[in-house]
Structure 1
């Protein structure tokens, strides 16, 4: 069997999934920054969105592989 060459930009690499999660979390946190939410709430939002994004992309990647 020949091994497929996967793009280094694909979401098969953990670092790319982490980067996508950080960018999504930071984007939502910046959008919340324009509101009157306290900073700790904004940090929680960043972590929840980032963690959720990472989990979703990882689950989708694993289900596609099967």
Structure 2
């Protein structure tokens, strides 16, 4: 078994996956900001999109091993 050095920019690192999830959530929340949705709803959308993004990236990473 060979140890390959993973790039620090890869999604192997949990911090990178969290950053991607937050970025996706903020992007979607900003797009919803142009609508008449209440701030609470926008915050819930941010959390849901961030959580789903993190879960998908983590699952995809684990299935590639």
Counterpart-to-counterpart distance in 1, 2:2 and 2:19: 30
1:3 Cα deviation after fit: 1.2
Residue 61 of structure 1 corresponds to which residue in structure 2? 61
CA–CA distance in structure 2, aligned partners of residues 19 and 2 of structure 1:
28
Count of aligned pairs? 65
Q: Deviations over 1:9-63 (max 9, x none)?
A: 0000000000000000000000000000000000000000000000000000000
> Displacement of 1:2 after TM fit?
3.4
For structure 1, list consecutive stretches of 5 or more residues without a partner in the other structure.
none
Query: Structure 1-normalised TM-score?
Result: 0.95
- Structure 2 distance, partners of 1:61, 1:8, is 15
Moved over 2 A (4+): none
